[in-house]
């Protein structure tokens, strides 16, 4: 008897896919260089995967795309919490700014922790790819399986981050900002290089003393990314924000600062820039575009598996990759 479901699965991943409007980001570069198939899954196969009527493979690819690692979730939540706390504080009573900032920041941390707990306990992430879950939790990593232990780990991190941030002179300066200084709408920043959009998440963006500033937060508590790659990512974000500032606010000097949190590097401030950023982006774009065939089509066979067991072991696209393998042998 014909197995229609298997045939649909096979058809879903063997047909060419229309390439998206091309843009570049540090994450895109990182995924491309780690594994071409992972890149294909994230940037092409996941297209439309939010729709329950798309093939299972596309939905799995979409799910993998939005599952964050523990470090990525901490970094993102720190950035969002600081941005929201500052926006609330800056709109409030100017005499109580410092106190309000601390209060709102703690409240954001508390909301984020509760939200995470709800998502994990009720497995909400299975029905909505935008609900929080960690790659490490899904794959049963030691210390990440038990929800209570995981939540305690998150609480410990936020307690420590709050202590570091509240003592930092940089944050004390920032807590004196006014509402009009903050660029709360700039969650993503787009620079343009040779006509190609270049995206970063800069963290908090504001004007201070005639200068365009960004403060970013990056956490590294697992060894999924090497220290070299971690530092490179920070200097790239700083450099792309500088490029963005020069393009959008040419008359303002630009500074970008990143707080890095890790067990051995707690709350270190980094202003490092990458001198060759433009040529790195151009070369990276050329490599990616070379895999798009005429007609703006991409074919799965042009994106081979990496063949590196160490990369596969920690790959967040592994479940979609396994589905592709399974349907190849139908
Ligand atoms: S499991 Fe390995 S081959 Fe498959 S997408 Fe991930 S890194 Fe690439």
pLDDT tier, 329 (very low <50, low <70, confident <90, very high otherwise): very low
Instruction: Tell whether the model's pLDDT for residue 147 goes beyond 90.
Output: yes
Same domain, 47 and 94: no
Residue 286 lies in a domain: no
More confident residue, 169 or 302: 302
Same domain, 160 and 225: yes
Same domain, 99 and 188: yes
Q: Note the pLDDT of residue 275.
A: 85
Q: Print the domain residue range for 170.
A: 70-279
Instruction: Tell whether the model's pLDDT for residue 216 goes beyond 60.
Output: yes
CATH at 191 = 3.90.320
Yes or no: say if 60 and 12 are a contact pair by the CB < 8 Å rule: no
pLDDT tier, 43 (very low <50, low <70, confident <90, very high otherwise): very high
More confident residue, 257 or 28: 28
Same domain, 218 and 151: yes
Same domain, 155 and 168: yes
Q: Note the pLDDT of residue 48.
A: 79
Q: How many domains does the chain have?
A: 2
Same domain, 90 and 231: yes
Report the chain's mean pLDDT, rounded to a whole number. 84
Instruction: Tell whether the model's pLDDT for residue 11 goes beyond 60.
Output: no
Residue 61 lies in a domain: yes
Residue 155 lies in a domain: yes
Is residue 147 lining ligand 1, measured as CB closer than 6 Å? no
Residue 152 lies in a domain: yes
Is residue 312 lining ligand 1, measured as CB closer than 6 Å? yes
Instruction: Tell whether the model's pLDDT for residue 20 goes beyond 70.
Output: no
182 burial level (CB within 10 Å; 0-12, 13-18, 19+): buried
Nearest atom (ligand 1) to Cα of 308: 2
Yes or no: say if 201 and 187 are a contact pair by the CB < 8 Å rule: yes
Cα of 34 vs centre of ligand 1, distance in Å, is 9
Yes or no: say if 152 and 158 are a contact pair by the CB < 8 Å rule: no
For a pocket test of ligand 1, which of 33, 38, 40, 65 has the largest count of ligand atoms closer than 8 A to its C-beta? 38
For CA atoms 28, 33, 35, 37, the dihedral sign is positive
Yes or no: say if 277 and 200 are a contact pair by the CB < 8 Å rule: no
Closest CA to ligand 1's atom 5: 38
Same domain, 156 and 47: no
More confident residue, 289 or 47: 289
Same domain, 14 and 102: no
Is residue 323 lining ligand 1, measured as CB closer than 6 Å? no
At residue 145, the 3 state secondary structure works out as coil
Cα of 306 vs centre of ligand 1, distance in Å, is 6
Is residue 38 lining ligand 1, measured as CB closer than 6 Å? yes
Cα of 46 vs centre of ligand 1, distance in Å, is 15
Cα of 238 vs centre of ligand 1, distance in Å, is 29
> Mean pLDDT throughout 286-291?
94
Residue 284 lies in a domain: no
Instruction: Tell whether the model's pLDDT for residue 265 goes beyond 80.
Output: no
Cα of 19 vs centre of ligand 1, distance in Å, is 20
Closest CA to ligand 1's atom 7: 312
φ and ψ at 141, to 5 degrees?
A: -65, 150
Residue 12 lies in a domain: yes
Same domain, 202 and 109: yes
Instruction: Tell whether the model's pLDDT for residue 222 goes beyond 90.
Output: no
Same domain, 159 and 186: yes
Same domain, 183 and 87: yes
Same domain, 32 and 114: no
Instruction: Tell whether the model's pLDDT for residue 10 goes beyond 70.
Output: no
Number of other residues whose CB lies within 10 A of the CB of residue 246: 15
Residue 14 lies in a domain: yes
Residue 92 lies in a domain: yes
For a pocket test of ligand 1, which of 139, 306, 313, 327 has the largest count of ligand atoms closer than 8 A to its C-beta? 306
Is residue 311 lining ligand 1, measured as CB closer than 6 Å? yes
Instruction: Tell whether the model's pLDDT for residue 327 goes beyond 70.
Output: yes
Q: Note the pLDDT of residue 12.
A: 54
At residue 13, the 3 state secondary structure works out as helix
């Amino acid at each position: 008897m014909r197995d229609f479901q298997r045939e649909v699965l096979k058809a879903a991943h063997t047909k060419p896919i229309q390439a998206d409007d091309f843009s570049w980001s540090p994450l895109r570069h990182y995924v491309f260089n780690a594994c071409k198939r992972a890149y294909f899954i994230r940037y092409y196969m996941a297209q439309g995967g939010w729709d329950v009527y798309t093939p299972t493979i596309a939905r799995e690819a979409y799910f993998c795309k939005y599952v964050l690692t523990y470090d990525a979730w901490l970094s993102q939540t720190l950035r969002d919490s600081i941005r929201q706390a500052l926006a609330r504080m800056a709109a409030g009573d100017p005499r109580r700014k410092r106190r309000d900032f601390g209060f709102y920041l703690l409240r954001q941390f508390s909301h984020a922790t509760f939200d995470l707990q709800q998502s994990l306990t009720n497995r909400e992430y299975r029905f909505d790819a935008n609900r929080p879950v960690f790659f490490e939790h899904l794959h049963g990593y030691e210390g990440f399986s038990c929800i209570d232990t995981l939540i305690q780990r998150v609480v410990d991190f936020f307690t420590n981050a709050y202590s570091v941030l509240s003592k930092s002179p940089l944050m004390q300066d920032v807590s004196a900002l006014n509402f009009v200084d903050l660029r709360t709408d700039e969650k993503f920043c787009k620079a343009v290089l040779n006509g190609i959009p270049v995206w970063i998440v800069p963290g908090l963006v504001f004007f201070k003393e005639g200068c365009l500033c960004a403060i970013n937060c990056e956490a590294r508590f697992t060894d999924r990314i090497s220290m070299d790659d971690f530092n490179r990512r920070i200097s790239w974000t700083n450099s792309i924000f500088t490029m963005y500032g020069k393009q959008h606010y040419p008359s303002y000097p630009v500074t970008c600062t990143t707080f890095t949190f890790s067990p051995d590097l707690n709350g270190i401030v980094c202003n490092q820039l990458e001198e060759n950023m433009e040529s790195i982006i151009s070369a990276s774009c050329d490599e990616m575009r070379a895999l798009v065939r005429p007609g703006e089509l991409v074919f799965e066979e042009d994106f081979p598996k990496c063949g590196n067991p160490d990369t596969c072991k920690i790959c967040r696209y592994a479940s979609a990759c396994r589905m592709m393998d399974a349907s190849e042998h139908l």
